[in-house]
Amino acid sequence: MNRSDLDIVVTGRAAISAAGIGLVPLAEAVRTERSSLRPVPPDPAGDGSILWGNVEDFRVGDFIPPLKARKLDRCSQMAVAAAGMAIKDAGIDTGSVDPLRIGIILGSGFGGIGNSSEFLTGYFTAGMEGLAPMLFPNTVANAPASNASIEHGIKGPNVTIVQRFCSAETALVFACRYLEEGRADVVITGGVDELTPLMIRGFRSMGQQRRFAAGFGEGCGLLVLERREHAARRGAAIRGSIDAIRSVGIFLKGAEDEGIVRIIPPGTSCALVTLSGTADLTPVLLNRLPEVPRLDLAPITGRSLAMGGLSLVAQFLSLAGSDRGFYLAASPEGPYISLDVTGGPTV
């Protein structure tokens, strides 16, 4: 895919991260390059030397009534809270717009894995009698997007993307396409993932504790996207724009340069490069990037399969006025996605 004629704008943003709840803590952490990673407790980590970006400040009762919150997995809780924050930031009154014209498209790597573990543990320890029906709806990857749509009355397109380290970015690509095709007027998009001790133990058992588990994070980063003319018609504040999207599934052996040129066109210039996804970006790819400041959230709030949502939010928080940014995301075996974006008012 290669599109450079987009007219999609960002009108809302939301962030729940290890840096804190809301846009200001994330913006401050990025500005100061302050790491929010903390040592993993000795039990799941084994030796206590691994860091993670867990969200300690999230209090679900601040966003969702307790009786309702207890029915949701942690991933859904963060998605519901962040979706409400994004809708508010976009100045959208859900009671006065057609709910069929608002969509939500999220990326999620592990979904409510803690809830799934609890559900399956009941079965493995007590058989059918040990299954808890209330847990079952949250064992699927699309539970966060679905629960957010139910809570906020969103009845338009509802899609969940699971695509390794590019889950959130692929969700954004889908969101832009749905807007261009007229299937929605507003789309909430981004990524959400939770982090549990079980995941750290799993990485350890697979021998990936220091490669992929180290610096893993959780949280939710969302953008509200609209076609420019629709945002102007309702008088929305423009927080930035998506100007171009490029993607390559894999770099074919012997034709790597062709793939790299498609992702990073010659002459690419910008004020900020944001990196997301795997830490295994090849030097050849990195050497093609403009010599400008680079933003990588991995050492600040951690990384996960869908933490590109927070990286996208962080990029728009870091671009002032009409500054242009370049966004690059990659998974070890593909895909590769790049974006040209323009900034807006800073927080």
Going from the N-terminus, what domains does the chain have, and what CATH number goes with each? Answer: 10-233 (3.40.47.10), 240-342 (3.40.47.10)
H or E element, residue 195:
none
Per-residue tens of pLDDT for the chain, all 347 residues: 566 678 899 999 999 999 999 999 999 999 999 999 988 877 766 666 788 899 999 999 999 998 888 889 999 999 999 999 999 999 998 888 899 999 999 999 888 777 777 766 776 787 777 767 777 777 788 999 999 999 999 999 999 999 888 999 999 999 999 999 999 999 999 999 998 888 777 777 776 666 655 678 899 999 999 999 999 999 999 999 999 999 998 877 777 788 888 999 999 999 999 999 765 566 778 888 999 999 999 999 998 888 899 999 999 999 988 899 999 998 877 889 999 999 987 66
What is the structure's pLDDT at 172?
97
Q: Would you give the end-to-end CA distance of the chain in angstroms?
A: 32
CB 170 within 8 A of CB 161: yes
CB 2 within 8 A of CB 246: yes
What is the structure's pLDDT at 243?
95
Q: Enter the tokens of residue 115.
A: 């809830």
What is the structure's pLDDT at 213?
55
Dihedral angle of Cα 20, 164, 297, 80, to the nearest 10 degrees:
-20
Partners of 186 in the β-ladder: 102, 226
Helix (H, G, I), strand (E, B) or coil at 102: strand
What is the structure's pLDDT at 282?
67
In whole angstroms, give the CA distance from residue 295 to residue 318.
9
Partners of 12 in the β-ladder: 224
In whole angstroms, give the CA distance from residue 216 to residue 214.
6
Strands 272-277 and 294-296: parallel
What is the structure's pLDDT at 195?
86
CB 242 within 8 A of CB 103: no
In whole angstroms, give the CA distance from residue 311 to residue 301.
10
In whole angstroms, give the CA distance from residue 318 to residue 30.
8
Cβ-based burial of 23 (10 A; exposed 0-12, middle 13-18, buried ≥19): buried
CB 194 within 8 A of CB 73: yes
* pTM, entire model: 0.92
